Structure formats: C-alpha cells, structure tokens
Amino acid sequence: MEDIVTLALALAAAGAVTGVLAGLFGIGGGAIIVPVLYEVFVFNDVPEDVRMPLAVGTSLAIIVPTSIRSALGHAKKGAVDKPVLRIWAVPMMVGVAAGSFVAHFAPPFVFQAAFIIVASIVSTKMLFGRSDWRLGETLPSRPTLGVFGGVIGVLSSLMGIGGGAMSTLVLTLYGKPIHQAVATSAGVGLLISVPGTIGYILAGWGKAGLPPDSIGFVSLLGFALIVPTTLITAPIGVHLAHRLSRRTLEIMFGCFLVIVCLRFIYSAVTG
C-alpha cells in the first residue's frame, strides 16, 4: 500500500511538471511525458528491464484523449490533409504494431536509442534549423510517403510519442504550410496512440516487475493522475510562453531534448 501511495504522489508531481513544460513548449506528447515518467519509475525502483517500455506505453495512453480532441478540432476547421492521412494510415499502423511487438522482447537500450535518435534530429532542427530547409517543393511519390509513414509509426511506438513532431517535420520539409502540417499531424497522433496503447498492453501482459497498478506496459495511475494534473498546470506554462519569444522557446525546447538525450545515453552506458 505504501508503494502505491508513493507512486501516486510521484505521478501527480510528474503530471504537474509535464503540464508546465507542455504549456511552455506547445507540445503535449511523449517528448516530455516519457522522460518525466522514466525518472518517476527510477525514483520508485521499478526494475530497469520494464522501466522504459512502461514509460512509453503509459505515454501513448495519455496521448489518446489529447489526440482525439485535437484531431476532431482540426478536422472541423478543414485543415487536415486527408489524402496524406489515407496514404499513411496502413503503413503507420503496421509500424506501430511492429514497434509494439519489439517492445515485448527488446532491452531498454532499444527504446532509449530510438528516443535519442529522433530527439537529436528534432533538437537540431529547433536549435539550428532555417525556414528555407527543404527536401522538395511537393510531396514525394505514394510509395516513398508510405515508407515515411511506416518509419514514423515504428519510431513513435518505441518512443511513446504521437508522431506529431516527425510528421510535421516531414510535411514542412516537402513544402506543406505549417498550419496544414500541424493539423494533419493531429490525425497522425490518433493513428499512433490508440493502436500503440493496445499494443503495449498486450506486449507487457504478464511481465514480471511491473507496478501493481499496471495493465501490461500501461500504468493506470499514471494515466489517471497525469492527464488531469497536466490540464491544471498547462496554463502556467502557456503564461510563461507568452512572455518569451518564439526563438527563445525553440532554443529552450531544443536544449531540453539535448539534456534528455544525454540522460538516456548516461543510463545506457552505466547500465
């Protein structure tokens, strides 16, 4: 009972921190939730072999309600590029399924490596990127776009994110307006978070060492406590964000991701 109370308090605190950071950086996804949850599970002595997949699976579950709300909102405004989503739907869900399958067998380093690689790319774009960076002025062929979707699905599943940062990056590098890219990425979050949550529940089913509140690799306490506390504290981050310039926010978020990468590299090296 004492362990559950300690975990609940730690998760509530994690939700508060996540809310502030999400409001500050304009991101509600796993790029923030996963590292925060990981530290909570370290603090509560969750075994190392299940710590990272539990953080990832819980993050995907937390993203589900946000993804549904965001996707419906953008769809009403007509900003979603539905042809792109139709092309991405099957490859992304196949990628998510593959990532969930890997989660059942993979050592912690696999999850950390996926996070390090993608976070490094995003942080580089945040810190050094320019608006004129392009891979092309129009979207690539359907097969190439499908490959992008599959890769985003796999990496998002292993990282515990909704895929918004990666899909937005791909679309803007091919000339899509940022508002349309963001709206389309909201739909991507739905394609990834729902099957990803189901996949991680199945992947972690019966695993030893999981906290008693967990269903597979999803912490029910994490979901129940982080979602509401995030909503409560997010306005604090939003208030702070409006006092800072866009460039300052980009630098801060890029530095945050660099720190997370270094933390995971240290964890992997020290074992």
Residue 198 pLDDT grade (very low, low, confident, very high; cuts 50, 70, 90): very high
Mean pLDDT, rounded, for 232-247: 74
Query: In this structure, what are the phi and psi dihedrals at residue 161, rounded to the nearest 5 degrees?
Result: -115, 165
Res. 218: pLDDT tops 90 = yes
What is the reported pLDDT for 262?
86
What is the reported pLDDT for 58?
92
Mean pLDDT, rounded, for 33-45: 83
What is the reported pLDDT for 62?
87
Res. 266: pLDDT tops 70 = yes
pLDDT in tens, 8-20: 777 777 777 777 7
Res. 151: pLDDT tops 60 = yes
Mean pLDDT, rounded, for 133-140: 79
> Which sign, positive or negative, has the C-alpha torsion 119, 121, 123, 125?
negative
Report the alpha-carbon distance of residue 30 to residue 44 in Å, rounded: 20
Residue 149 pLDDT grade (very low, low, confident, very high; cuts 50, 70, 90): very high
Residue 74 pLDDT grade (very low, low, confident, very high; cuts 50, 70, 90): low
What is the reported pLDDT for 131?
67
> Which sign, positive or negative, has the C-alpha torsion 136, 140, 144, 146?
positive
Distances from the Cα of 258 to the Cα of 1, 37, 55, 220, angstroms:
37, 17, 19, 29
Residue 6 pLDDT grade (very low, low, confident, very high; cuts 50, 70, 90): confident
Mean pLDDT, rounded, for 131-156: 86
Query: In this structure, what are the phi and psi dihedrals at residue 215, rounded to the nearest 5 degrees?
Result: -115, 105
Residue 35 pLDDT grade (very low, low, confident, very high; cuts 50, 70, 90): confident
Region label for 203, one of left (φ > 0), alpha (ψ between -120 and 50) or beta (otherwise): alpha
What is the reported pLDDT for 241?
66
Q: Whole-number mean pLDDT of the chain?
A: 81
Res. 90: pLDDT tops 90 = yes
